[in-house]
Amino acid sequence: MKTLYWQYILVMASVTYLIRVLPMTFIRKQLKNRVIRSFLYYVPYVTLAVMTFPAILSATASRWSALAALFIGVVLAFFGQDLMVVSLACCVTVYLAELFL
Amino acid sequence: MSDYLLISVFPCIMEWQKIQKDCKDMKPENKNAFKLGMKHGWPIGVGYFAVSFALGIAARNAGFSALQAGVMSALCSASAGQFAGITLASSGASFAEMALMELIVNARYLLMSCALTQKLDPKLSTGHRLLLSNYITDEIFGLSVTAPGTLNPFYSYGIISMASPGWIAGTVFGVIMGNILPSSVVSALSVGLYGMFLAIIIPPARKNPVIAILVPLSMAMSWFFTNLNNAGILIISEGNRIIILTVVISLLAAVFFPHKEEPSSASSAAEAGQEDKNKTAPESGAAK
């Protein structure tokens, strides 16, 4: 079956825009509920973690190179390295690992 | 149908004409605000180019064309949301799944939108609000909401004029390079976006014990349910897995370990994008 890329983009764009535009045009109060605010605060971290693992393992040619990149990325990020440094280090790790695998 | 379209589009056109008129005889203070926005916005544009390049690689791997990826970036401007969308598109998800996924992944923009509307002149026209809304991202919101006093929308437009082209160009360039470069390099670049995600979710885990538990827990649960699916024990699509795990884990954490907010922060949700914000911190210092 052919993937319906344009239709997917339309759905993505519509929902994303509605989320942003509705409060800007209608709601003029701040959300006060602590649980809702906490939920919205945690969502990015949880969803990025869920999307990163185990998907990273099938992103490269070999799962071992991806595992090495994951390890390097976690260590560098933990020690406060910059976003670009972590990202490039992951890429270099995969490239080098796949040279030898 | 066409009548309905006309009725709904007509007011927008009127608003756009108003904006165009505003721009033509732009008041000096608006011009200055726009220039300041451009000055603060260019580091964001550079950062966006790099992130969206990685996004473009992912889009290309999922079969998107350069045009499709570029249009997607122009309309969405949301890294996690777009990546989730790309993932779902490549797994052949339903449109309902896609809509729900975007609703959840981008839910934090609802909070930012609520906060940003407080910064605006209550009389600011709907046209400006419609335009500003499309560019509520972690970084543009962060700068706009920390600007002193009432937000002049032209300050945000200045930021957007630098940031958005970077975001779109990076995505298009990512797809093109993904098609040209040898497969070994594409394979290496394919982890680039994951590396960025790690740089966003790991550092806050050092400061916040709840996130320190949430991040590895989320990864473990994601892995567990992927294996259940692969073994045929519990068939659950990739999109639904991300949606369900995100909602359940975030909700449980919010109920049992609500986040303690610093009273000064207008929206703590913006912290998720703090890497790019940190980079622009010296620049945005002037806006505070």
> pLDDT of B121-180, one tens digit each?
888 889 999 999 999 998 899 889 888 888 999 999 999 999 999 999 999 999 999 999
* Residue B249 structure tokens: 């884990």
pLDDT category of residue B29 using cuts at 50, 70 and 90: confident
Specify the pTM: 0.78
Q: Do B132 and A89 touch (CB under 8 A)?
A: no
Q: Do B80 and A98 touch (CB under 8 A)?
A: no
Give yes or no for a contact between B258 and A35, defined as CB atoms under 8 angstroms apart: yes
CA-to-CA separations, A24 to A41, B5, B101, in angstroms, rounded = 19, 22, 22
In the predicted model, is pLDDT for residue B285 greater than 50?
no
Cis peptide before A54 (omega within 30 of 0): yes
Domain ranges of chain A: 5-100
Give yes or no for a contact between B110 and B244, defined as CB atoms under 8 angstroms apart: no
Q: Which residues of B touch A39 (CB under 8 A)?
A: 107, 250-251, 253-254
Q: Which residue has the higher pLDDT, A83 or B89?
A: B89
Nearest to B246 among A21, A50, A73 (CB): A50
Evaluate whether ipTM surpasses 0.95.
no
Domain ranges of chain B: 10-208+259-287
> pLDDT of B75-118, one tens digit each?
999 989 999 999 999 999 999 999 999 999 998 898 889 878 88
